[in-house]
């Protein structure tokens, strides 16, 4: 097949990574960017196109939200139709969302080889939505791009037939570019704060857990700025949660604001994989409200600490400790910020 390379994405963090990949892949031949439309709210999605000057996608599948089954099925069908009409020579998918799974499956069923960026980032909870997605995609992909050598070793054992290449983390490429666009504004002593983002279904769709976390945040040693994903905002409304002086709720922020807030924050409390790594690279202590993390190197190097949601009552003490702790950890766990170039070179040689 000699069609273009097709790059599929659909959620907030994927739009950002896809922009850097798209540019790098252009050197490997024609590349077509396909946005599934899994995320569609302006402040969750379009803001990234506007803010980062990302070119509009070449195709938009307009699937929107629904149950996991319906959303995945809608992406699968729309993506398969698109592939049939456009015959790409390979499909590139990123991460672990429903868009990642459905596009990989659509391609593989049509015998279009799949390359998986952020491959192998497994967790123990095998029924978490993202875990189902990433394991399934790793199993059908022909090329796997893990961000670290530790993960690559595991993947080579699991999938001896696949091409496994450690390339680093595309999110680091993106961050380094963003830092050039948005230079640091010094943290003001008077308005020190904790930056908070929580959006995972396992936490926010469990009312008791979410309530416990919100009570703990109100007791944090500094005020919190909580940028709430629409899923989280809806869950807080169901709880009848009223924001107070200690926890300030805002709509989701764009990527550049998120990086600026992170850099100014005294610490971050999150369940986002992206923010765990960004905090690690930026030298901001992170507390992850989950039982486990895929980004174990951030914990091993002292940048990140896990607090299980049921233990949220310990958050205020953990935050105090994080604020007072050292920030000089080794930041080389996930490459050097040139992952996209490596991916492009490997794909150009392979396809």
Q: Binding residues for ligand UD1, per CB under 6 A?
A: 11-13, 38-41, 44-45, 65, 71, 96-98, 129-130, 199, 230-231
Distance CA 142, CA 114 (A): 6
In the complex with ligand UD1, the residue whose CB is nearer, 41 or 125, is: 41
Which among 48, 116, 199, 229 is annotated as catalytic? 199
Distance CA 25, CA 346 (A): 10
CB neighbourhood size of 190 (10 A): 5
The CA R_g of the chain, rounded to the nearest whole Å, is 20
Tell me the two tokens of residue 104. Answer: 């990989």
Handedness of CA 202, 204, 206, 208 (dihedral sign): positive
Minimum separation from the CB atom of position 320 to ligand UD1 (A): 28
Minimum separation from the CB atom of position 280 to ligand UD1 (A): 17
Minimum separation from the CB atom of position 221 to ligand UD1 (A): 28
CB contact at 8 A, 105 and 111: no
Buried b (16+ CB within 10 A) or exposed e, 72-108: bebbbebbbebbeeeebbbbbbbbbbbbbbbbbbbbb
In the complex with ligand UD1, the residue whose CB is nearer, 12 or 263, is: 12
Minimum separation from the CB atom of position 71 to ligand UD1 (A): 6
Number of residues assigned to the chain: 351
In the complex with ligand UD1, the residue whose CB is nearer, 225 or 342, is: 225
In the complex with ligand UD1, the residue whose CB is nearer, 264 or 276, is: 276
**Phi/psi of residue 194, nearest 5 degrees:** -105, 130
Minimum separation from the CB atom of position 327 to ligand UD1 (A): 26
In the complex with ligand UD1, the residue whose CB is nearer, 196 or 347, is: 196
Distance CA 305, CA 252 (A): 24
- Please spell the DSSP secondary structure of 13-62, one letter per residue: HHHHHHHHHHHHHGGGS-EEEEE--S--SIIIIIHHHHHTTPPPPSEE--
Minimum separation from the CB atom of position 40 to ligand UD1 (A): 4
Active site residue 199: yes
In the complex with ligand UD1, the residue whose CB is nearer, 96 or 169, is: 96
The catalytic residue positions are: 199
């Amino acid at each position: 097949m000699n069609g273009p390379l097709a790059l599929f994405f659909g959620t907030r963090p994927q739009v950002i990574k896809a922009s850097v990949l798209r540019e790098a892949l252009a050197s490997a031949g024609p590349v077509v960017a396909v946005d599934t439309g899994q995320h569609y709210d302006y402040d969750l999605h379009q803001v990234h196109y506007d803010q980062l000057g990302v070119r509009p996608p070449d195709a938009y599948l307009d699937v929107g939200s629904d149950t996991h089954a319906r959303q995945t099925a809608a992406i699968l069908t729309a993506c398969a139709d698109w592939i049939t009409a456009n015959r790409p020579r390979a499909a590139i998918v990123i991460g672990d969302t429903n868009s990642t799974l459905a596009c990989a499956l659509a391609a593989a069923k049509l015998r279009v080889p799949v390359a998986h960026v952020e491959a192998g980032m497994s967790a123990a909870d095998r029924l978490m939505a993202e875990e189902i997605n990433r394991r399934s995609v790793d199993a059908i992909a022909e090329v796997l791009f893990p961000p670290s050598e530790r993960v690559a070793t595991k993947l080579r054992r699991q999938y001896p037939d696949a091409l496994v290449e450690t390339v680093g983390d595309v999110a680091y490429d993106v961050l380094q570019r963003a830092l050039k666009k948005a230079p640091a504004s010094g943290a003001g002593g008077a308005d020190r704060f904790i930056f908070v983002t929580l959006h995972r279904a396992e936490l926010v769709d469990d009312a008791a857990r979410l309530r416990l976390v919100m009570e703990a945040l109100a007791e944090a040693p500094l005020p919190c700025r909580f940028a709430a994903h629409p899923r989280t905002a809806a869950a807080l409304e169901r709880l009848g949660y009223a924001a107070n002086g200690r926890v300030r709720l805002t709509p989701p922020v764009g990527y550049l604001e998120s990086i600026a807030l992170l850099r100014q924050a005294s610490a971050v409390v999150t369940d986002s994989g992206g923010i765990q790594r960004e905090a690690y690279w930026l030298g901001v202590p992170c507390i992850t409200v989950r039982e486990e993390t895929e980004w174990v190197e951030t914990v091993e190097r002292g940048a990140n600490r896990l607090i299980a949601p049921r233990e949220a009552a310990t958050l205020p003490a953990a935050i105090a400790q994080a604020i007072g702790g050292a920030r000089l950890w080794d930041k080389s766990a996930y490459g050097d910020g040139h992952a996209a170039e490596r991916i492009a070179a490997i794909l150009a040689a392979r396809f």
